[in-house]
Structure 1
Amino acid sequence: MELVKVYCENCGSEIIVYDTHVKKHMYCTIHCLESAGGSSSGSDQTAST
């Protein structure tokens, strides 16, 4: 296991993760994930405020 630099798909921020956890699309925060329209859980439900 080695640390590698990847970049957020949404904002371009640098993220440092283990090479075993690199995915095709990486996001730095939940906000970036939601802004990109993705979901890590596969559910389309969102919390309403």
Structure 2
Amino acid sequence: MNPLSSELYRRCYKNGTCRLECFGSEMLVAYCMFQLECCLKGNPEP
């Protein structure tokens, strides 16, 4: 089993989701393992 797949889409900081890269409509709030980004839906801060 790939350890990356178990980390991908895992819940993280403030109910965010671990992804390879955040979508434009999401903001990066933290980092997960393997340099994954913890993304939270909402408007990115300016």
Q: Same fold (TM over 0.5)?
A: no
Interval of TM-score (by shorter of Structure 1 and Structure 2): under 0.3
- Which of the pair has more CA radius of gyration? 1
TM-score between both structures, scaled by the size of structure 2: 0.24
